[in-house]
Copies of this chain bind each other. A is one copy, B any other.
Amino acid sequence: MANPAADAHEPATARGHRTRQKVLDAAEVVFGTRGYEAASIVDITRAAGIAQGTFYLYFPSKKAVFAELVGELGAKLRRTLAAAVADLDDRLTVERAGLHAFLGFVREHRNLYRIIRQAEFVDEALYRDYYSKLAEGYRVGLARAMTEGQIRKLDPEAVAFALMGIFDFLGMRWVLWEGKLPPQHVLDDVFALVRDGLGLQSSTFNARASNAPKRSR
């Protein structure tokens, strides 16, 4: 258990590496389209163009490939997001860039994204780990911005999960359901909500608040 890859037989030759990668690539497609439980090892090996037994040369079980895919996805997403906001100073700019990078990532990795959503029922620990790591990075960034007075002081973990929830549902509704990024006005409106929810003040509000609230019904 010390070495996370200990269970998965590491290839010793170039051919081995190639085959192992074929399995991972095939598993990503098969799990993403059929779902974890519905996917069989045969589905994966057939998609990879190898024999069933070969699978077990590189992975001890179906769950092991799945776990590796989830781990890879998490790392890749965190890298992508970190790179997307690396040079940005202002937190609200970071949020906008992060939202955009996240949705682009989901669009480019729909299978992987569906895999994460299944992890909850395949291996709870894996799933919590994915979100916990993501949230932790997010929390640290938010906390710093709060300290620096860029955004209002709120519980940073609560804000991290709230924002992840927004992103996740946008990804589901537009990217997964419609296969494309949300229309620009949706992105603008959601960002407006985030900006003014997080902002210290609302100088950017349009001051047309003359419309006095009326009672409904």
Q: Which residues of A line the B interface, CB within 8 A?
A: 35-38, 89-91, 114, 117-118, 120-121, 128, 131, 135, 144-145, 148-150, 152-155, 157-159, 161-162, 164-170, 172-173, 177, 182, 185-186, 189-190, 192-203, 205-207, 209, 211-217
Contacts and interface: CB of A to CB of B under 8 A. Distances in A.
Instruction: Give the number of times this chain occurs in the complex, counting copies.
Output: 2
Contacts of A189: 154-155, 158-159
Contacts of A131: 172-173
Interface of A is mostly: helix
A165 B169 contact: yes
B35 A121 contact: yes
A214 B169 contact: no
B214 A149 contact: yes
> Sorted from nearest, which 7 A-B pairs have the closest CB atoms?
A202-B202, A165-B169, A149-B211, A37-B37, A197-B197, A165-B165, A193-B197
B202 A198 contact: no
Contact of A89 (B153, B159, B197, B215): B215
Contact of A169 (B149, B155, B164, B185): B164
B202 A152 contact: no
B155 A186 contact: yes
8 contacts: A118-B121, A131-B172, A154-B193, A157-B186, A165-B166, A168-B168, A193-B197, A193-B198
A209 B211 CA distance: 24
A169 B162 contact: yes
B213 A209 contact: no
A212 B158 CA distance: 15
A194 B197 contact: yes
